[in-house]
Structure 1
Amino acid sequence: MRKICVVITARASYSRIKTVLTAIQDHPRLLLQLVVTGSALVERFGNIIPYLEAEKLPVSAVIPNLLDVENTTASAKTTGLAVIELATFFANLRPDVVVTVADRFETIATAIAAVNMNIPLAHVQGGEITGNIDDRIRNSISQLADLHFVSTENARSRLIRMGLSPQKIHHTGCPSIDLVHRHRDFNFNPYETYGGVGSQPDLNAPYLVILQHPVTTETGHSKWQIDSTLRAITALKMPSIWFWPNADPGTAGTAQGIRAFREQHPDLPFHFFKNMESHHFIQLLKGCVCFVGNSSVGIRECSALGIPAVNIGTRQRGRERGPNVIDCLPDTDSILSAVRHQLAHGHYPGTRLYGNGNAGERIAEQLATIPFIIKKHLFPA
C-alpha cells in the first residue's frame, strides 16, 4: 500500500481537503498518514481534532508550533518549527508522498521538509491568483512540488506557463466543492451545537453570513477594515452570523474590533462563532441570503451554491469568480451598497467553475496509480 501523508495546518485547510482524506482512507491501495499542526490545533482559531475524531480519521501526529500571530517574527518562526518537526515525522513514518494544501504561510514548511528529504510532494490548489502573501507561498510550493491537483483549467494553464510539466498537473476540481454537492438541508441548531456568543437570531428569517480575515500585507488596517464591515451590517439591521478570523498577521486588530463592537451592541441580531464543522457550515451557508467578507468561501462554495457574495478588499484579488460575486472597497458605504445590490438581486445560478463534486475520489485514485517521480527540471513555457 502507498502511504499518503497529508499535513493540515488550519481549519480552512481541513475543509479544502476533507473529502480527499476520506477517499484516501477508503481506498484499498492507500494508507492515510494525517498530521495536524499550526492553528488547526488552537481552540480560538478552530481546533479540528474533535471533527477528525468524529469522522474516524486517524491522526498520526500532532505538532503544536503556532507562535503569537501578532509578533513580526511569528510567521517565519512558526514555519521554521514546522520544518524541524515535520522532518522528524517524515523520517520516522517514511511516507511515499506528502500532500500539502493551498497557500497559507505555514504550508510551505511541509514542502521544504519533504523536498529536502527527497519525498515526492503533491500540491492541492496550485496555480491560482489572490492578494497578499498567499501568491508567493502558493507559487513557491508549486515550483517545489512534483505533482499538482488544481481546481480550474485556468490554474492548470498558469502552472504550465510557469514551466511545470503538463503531465504532472491534474485538473481535479476543488475538494471543498465536493461538500457542497453532498450538502443537506438545514437540520441542526447551530446555537445548541456550537454555542458562540451574542443574540440568537431566527434563522428562518433572511440572514447574512460574515467571515472577514485580516489582509497580511495590510496588517495595520485590520481594525478599521472590520469596523467598516461592522458598521455596514449594523445599518442593514439584519440577522447575521459571524465567524472568527484566521490566525494571520493582523488578526489581533480584527478580533479587537469584533470584541469591542460585540460588547457595545449586545442587542443587535448578531451571533459570533469560532468554528463549525464543514458540513454544518455548508448548510448554514446554503440558507443565507448573502455572504459578506473576504474569505474564498464567497468565491468557491458560494459560486457553486449560487449564493450572492460581497468580496471586501484585496485578499481575494485575482481569484477566478462566478457571476455571484461583487467586489467592493473596505469602507462602510461601499460594503453597504454592495450588500444591498446583492440582496435586491437574489439567488444566482450555481456554477461548476471549481469542480463537479468528485475531486476527493479523483485525487485519491491518482495518488494510487500514477508514478511518483521527483521533478528534475522545468519545461519551456
Structure 2
Amino acid sequence: MTKRKICIVVGSRANYSSIKAVMRAVNAHPDLELQLVAGASAVLDRYGAVVDIMERDGFTVMAKLYMLVEGETPATMAKSTGLGLIEMPTIFETLKPDVVLTVGDRFETMATTLAAAYMNIPLAHTMGGEVSGNIDENIRHAITKFATIHFPACEDAQQRIIKLGERPDTVHNVGCPRMDLVADILGKTSNVSASLFGEGVGASFDLTGDFLLVSQHPVTGEYGRGEAQIEATLLACLDVGMPAVVLWPNADAGSEDVSRGIRKFRERHPNAPFHYVKNLPPEVYMPLMDMTRCLIGNSSSAIREGAFIGTPAVNIGSRQTARQRGANVIDAGYTREEIAAAIRNRLEAGKFESDPIYGDGHAGPRIADLLATAEFDLNKVITY
C-alpha cells in the first residue's frame, strides 16, 4: 500500500517543540511518510538555527524556505508572509504531499495554510481554537476555517472550533504534542548545565540552587514597547535577587526591540547573575522548567508545559490573555513593581501538582493514527 505523505512545515523553535512528537509518530507509522520543510526563523542562525537541531535529532529536512525579511516590523512580518506564500507552492509542487500539517498561529503558518488551500491539499491544523491577546488569535481562527481536520489541545479549544462552525467529526481533542516531549524528556537524565552554559553568554551558576527562567516575546499589537517591557522584567528579576536564564525573543514584529532591551540591560548590569542564550532545544528547556523556581515572561510554555510540569509562572501582559490556564500561573502587568511582586508570590507558592489541561503525553501517536485513517472533504459545506 502506498504511504500517505504528510508534509510538516516548521518555522520556528516553538514550532519544533510543538510538533516534534508528531514528527516522530509519523516517521514510525507504517502507513505514513514524513516530508519535513524548514522555513522562516528555523533556518537562521540568529534565531538558533533550529534546522540544525532537527537534523541532529535524526530528521531529514527535504526543503528549506528562506522567507524572513529583516526588520521585525509589522510591515516586514506581512512581507515575510507574502514571500512564504510565493515560495511554498513550489515546494508543495515538488513534494506532492497528500496532507499538509501546520502548527499553531504564526505568520509562516498562515503562508503554509493559504498555499495548501489554494492548491487543494488537505490541511491539518494543531493547537487551533485557543484564545490569546494578539494577532495570533486572529491567525489561529482564520486557519481553522481553512483546515480540513483539527487537532486542538484542550476541551475548551475543541468546543470553540465547533462553535466556529466546523463539523464535530473533524475536530479531535488529542492534547498538545508538547506534553509528549515533556513526559519523554523528564523521564531521562541529562547534563543540562553543560548544555546550557556551553551556549550563550553571561554568568554560570549552580542549577541545583534557586534560579529564574525568563522567556518574553514581542506583542505585535504593542509594537514599539518591547524594549521597555523586557527592561522592566529583567529589573524585576534583579530585584528578586536570584540568578536567571534569559532567552532571546522569537522573530515576530518587535523582536529587535526586545533584543535591544536585553543587550542594553546586559551592558548596564554586567555583574548581574544572568545567563543569556539564543535558543535551547526542548531537551534543555523542559528540565529547566522543571528545575526553576519561577518562569517569567509571556511564552505559552508557562501555560501549556507549565501546567503539566507544575512550574510556578508569572505571565506578563496581554500576549496570553484568556488562554485556558492552571493554578501555576499568575498574571502581572508591565511594571517592574508588579512583576517583582508576582515573582515573590510564585516563590512562596512553590511547585504545583501536575495538571493535564493540555494533554496526557500521547498526542503524537493519536494524530498520526488520525492522519493515516481520515477521509478529507475539500468541498466541506458549513451551515451556520
Amino acid at match of 2:355: T
Amino acid at match of 1:346: G
Cα deviation for residue 195 of structure 1 reads: 1.7
1:198 corresponds in structure 2 to: 202
Cα deviation for residue 89 of structure 1 reads: 1.1
Residues 268-287 of structure 1 aligned to structure 2 (within 5 Å): 268-287=272-291
Q: Secondary structure at the match of 2:41?
A: helix
2:193 corresponds in structure 1 to: 189
Is 1:123 aligned to residue 129 of structure 2? Answer: no
Q: Deviations over 1:135-171 (max 9, x none)?
A: 1100110001001001001101001111010011111
2:296 corresponds in structure 1 to: 292
Cα deviation for residue 192 of structure 1 reads: 6.3
User: C-alpha separation between the residues in 2 aligned to 1:326 and 1:313?
Assistant: 11
1:144 corresponds in structure 2 to: 146
1:214 corresponds in structure 2 to: 218
Q: Deviations over 1:267-306 (max 9, x none)?
A: 1110011011112211111111110000001100111011
2:56 corresponds in structure 1 to: 54
User: C-alpha separation between the residues in 1 aligned to 2:232 and 2:268?
Assistant: 15
2:382 corresponds in structure 1 to: 378
Aligned identity (percent) is: 45
- Structure 2 residues without counterparts, runs of 5 or longer: none
Residues 21-40 of structure 1 aligned to structure 2 (within 5 Å): 21-40=23-42
Amino acid at match of 2:368: A
Decide whether the 8 Å contact of 1:7 with 1:100 is kept in 2. Answer: yes
User: C-alpha separation between the residues in 2 aligned to 1:285 and 1:312?
Assistant: 17
Match of 1:227 among 227, 231, 247: 231
Amino acid at match of 2:285: F
Decide whether the 8 Å contact of 1:207 with 1:240 is kept in 2. Answer: yes
Cα deviation for residue 373 of structure 1 reads: 2.0
The farther-off stretch of 89-98 and 14-23 is: 89-98
Cα deviation for residue 185 of structure 1 reads: 4.2
Cα deviation for residue 76 of structure 1 reads: 1.3
1:356 corresponds in structure 2 to: 360
Match of 2:4 among 2, 7, 10: 2
User: C-alpha separation between the residues in 1 aligned to 2:100 and 2:228?
Assistant: 40
Residues 32-181 of structure 1 aligned to structure 2 (within 5 Å): 32-181=34-183
Cα deviation for residue 191 of structure 1 reads: 5.4
1:16 corresponds in structure 2 to: 18
Decide whether the 8 Å contact of 1:108 with 1:141 is kept in 2. Answer: yes
User: C-alpha separation between the residues in 2 aligned to 1:40 and 1:224?
Assistant: 27
Give the direction of change, closer, same or farther, for the CA distance of 1:247–1:194 in structure 2 (3 Å limit). Answer: farther
TM-score by length of 2: 0.97
The farther-off stretch of 76-85 and 125-134 is: 76-85
Decide whether the 8 Å contact of 1:164 with 1:379 is kept in 2. Answer: no
Decide whether the 8 Å contact of 1:309 with 1:325 is kept in 2. Answer: yes
User: C-alpha separation between the residues in 1 aligned to 2:335 and 2:6?
Assistant: 45
User: C-alpha separation between the residues in 1 aligned to 2:196 and 2:150?
Assistant: 40
Give the direction of change, closer, same or farther, for the CA distance of 1:192–1:272 in structure 2 (3 Å limit). Answer: closer
Q: Deviations over 1:216-273 (max 9, x none)?
A: 0001211111111011011111011010000011111111110011112121110011
User: C-alpha separation between the residues in 1 aligned to 2:115 and 2:93?
Assistant: 10
Q: Deviations over 1:70-89 (max 9, x none)?
A: 34421111111111111011
How many residue pairs get aligned? The number is 380
User: C-alpha separation between the residues in 2 aligned to 1:352 and 1:241?
Assistant: 26
Q: Deviations over 1:279-338 (max 9, x none)?
A: 221111111111000000110011101110000000000110000000010111100000
Q: Secondary structure at the match of 1:217?
A: helix
